[in-house]
Amino acid sequence: MINLISDTVTKPTPAMLEAMMQAEVGDDVFGEDPTVNALEAKAAALFGKEAALYCPSGTMTNQIAIKVHTQPLDEVICDQHSHIYHYEVGGYAFHSGVAINLLEGDQGRLSAEQVEAAVKPTFDWLPKSALVVLENTCNRAGGSYYQLKDMRAIREVCRRKNMKLHLDGARIFNALTESGNTPLEIGELFDSISVCLSKGLGAPVGSLLIGDRDLIRAARRVRKVMGGGMRQAGFLAAAGIYALDHHVERLREDHARAQQIAGVLEQLPFVSQLRPVSTNILIFDLIPSITAARFLEALGQNGVKASSFGTHTVRMVTHLDFTDEMLEKVLEILPRLF
C-alpha cells in the first residue's frame, strides 16, 4: 500500500531506531531524563528561546499554550481552518474555558488588519481577546505558509493590544523550507511555539512547546495535570533529536514530490480544482459526478490511500516513507482511475 493519508504515517528509519535504542534515559517527571533534556535544550536554542517542553502530541502542546496564555472568559483569535478549532476536540473550552473568534483568512493566513479589527473592545458582556494563534503551515488550507513580514505585522498588533501570540508550528519546518526563513526569525515573533516531531520529521511520537523559562515552568504543571508527564521518555526524545538532525533538509524532497503529483492532478478531467500546492499537502476538488468516496475506492483498488476532506474533496500528503518509486506509481495510476 502507498499511504498518502498523512505525514504522520511514517515509521522510524533503522538509523532512527538505532538512536532510540542507544538513548540514555531517566525519569522525566523529575526532570532527570538526559535525552529529553537534550531535546528540549536543542529545540529552545534552535528557536532562540530559553526553554522547551517535550509532550506526547501537538494537541497537548497547543492546548497547554492556550491554557497558560489565557484566563476563563478570554477569547482566542484564529483562522477558520485552525487545527485548534477543528481537530482538538474543542479542548480550548474544556481545558481553558475560553471562546474562539474565528476569522476568514487567505488560505489559512490571517492579516494584521484582520486581527486588529477582530480585537474586542472592553465591555462586561464581551470575552477578552487575549491570544492570537497562527498556524504555519496551515493544514486544512492545503499547506500554505506565511511570509515573515505578515507574521511581524501581527506580532506588532499583539504588542499594541496586549495579546499573546502562539504559533501552531506542527509543520513549521515545511514552512521554513519554502520561505527560506530561519527558526530564530520565527522564535523572535512568538510567545510560544508548538512543533511536531511526528509529522514530516518522521519521529514516531512527540511535540515540543517552546517559550521562555516562566512559560515553560507553568506549562510543565499543565502537562502534568493533563496526564502528559512521562517517565523514561528519552527513548522517544532520541527519535526527535535524530529527526531534527537528519530529517529537516529532506523536507524539500516531499515538496518536490507533491509538485509532481500536482502537475498530473491539474491535467485530470475529473479534478475540478486543485488548491495551490505550497509544501507537502495537496487538496483538490472532484467534478460533481465523482464523490471523494468513489475516488478513494478507485485509488484504493490501485494500492494507494488518501483521505476525504469533504464530499468532493480529497487530501494527499507526501512524507518520509513516500519514495520516488511510489511517486512514479501514483503518477501512472492517477490518469487511469476513471
Tell the smallest beta-carbon distance from residue 14 to ligand PLP (Å).
24
Cα distance between residue 170 and residue 200, in whole Å: 9
The residue among 85 and 295 lying less far from ligand PLP, judged by its C-beta, is 85
Contacts for 148-156: CB closer than 8 Å, 24+ residues apart: 148/179, 148/181, 148/185, 150/109, 150/111, 150/112, 151/186, 151/189, 152/189, 153/111, 153/112, 154/110, 154/111, 154/112, 154/115, 155/189, 155/190, 156/112
The residue among 189 and 281 lying less far from ligand PLP, judged by its C-beta, is 281
Tell the smallest beta-carbon distance from residue 122 to ligand PLP (Å).
31
Q: Which three cell numbers stand for residue 224?
A: 502534568
The residue among 51 and 201 lying less far from ligand PLP, judged by its C-beta, is 201
| 315 binds ligand PLP, rule: CB under 6 A | no
Q: Which residues contact 146 (CB under 8 A, 6 or more apart)?
A: 109, 134, 136, 175, 179
Tell the smallest beta-carbon distance from residue 175 to ligand PLP (Å).
11
| 196 binds ligand PLP, rule: CB under 6 A | yes
Tell the smallest beta-carbon distance from residue 141 to ligand PLP (Å).
10
Tell the smallest beta-carbon distance from residue 50 to ligand PLP (Å).
23
Contact call for residues 35 and 25 (beta carbons, < 8 A) = yes
The residue among 78 and 286 lying less far from ligand PLP, judged by its C-beta, is 78
Binding to ligand PLP by CB under 6 A, coded x per residue (else -) over 110-149, reads -------------------------x---x----------
The residue among 228 and 286 lying less far from ligand PLP, judged by its C-beta, is 228
Tell the smallest beta-carbon distance from residue 58 to ligand PLP (Å).
2
Of 35-43, 52-60, 212-220, 237-245, the segment contacting ligand PLP by CB under 6 A is 52-60
Q: Please report, for residues 29, 83, 189, 230, the alpha-carbon distance to residue 53 in angstroms, rounded to integers and kept in the order given.
A: 11, 20, 19, 11
Q: DSSP string covering 262-323, please? A: HHHHTT-TTEEEE----SSEEEEEEPTTS-HHHHHHHHHHTTEE-EEEETTEEEEE--TT--
Over its C-alpha atoms, the chain yields an Rg (Å, rounded) of 20
**Touching ligand PLP, residues 57-116 (CB under 6 A):** 57-59, 62, 83
Q: Which of 177, 207, 279, 318 binds ligand PLP (CB under 6 A)?
A: 207
| 254 binds ligand PLP, rule: CB under 6 A | no
Q: Which of 43, 170, 241, 274 binds ligand PLP (CB under 6 A)?
A: 170
Report the residue closest to ligand PLP, judged by CB: 58
Tell the smallest beta-carbon distance from residue 62 to ligand PLP (Å).
6
Give Cα 329 distance to the centre of its chain.
28
Cα distance between residue 312 and residue 309, in whole Å: 8
How many CA atoms are closer than 13 Å to the CA of 215, on its beta-carbon side?
26
Tell the smallest beta-carbon distance from residue 301 to ligand PLP (Å).
28
Residues of this chain that bind ligand PLP (CB under 6 A): 57-59, 62, 83, 135, 139, 168, 170, 196, 198-199, 207
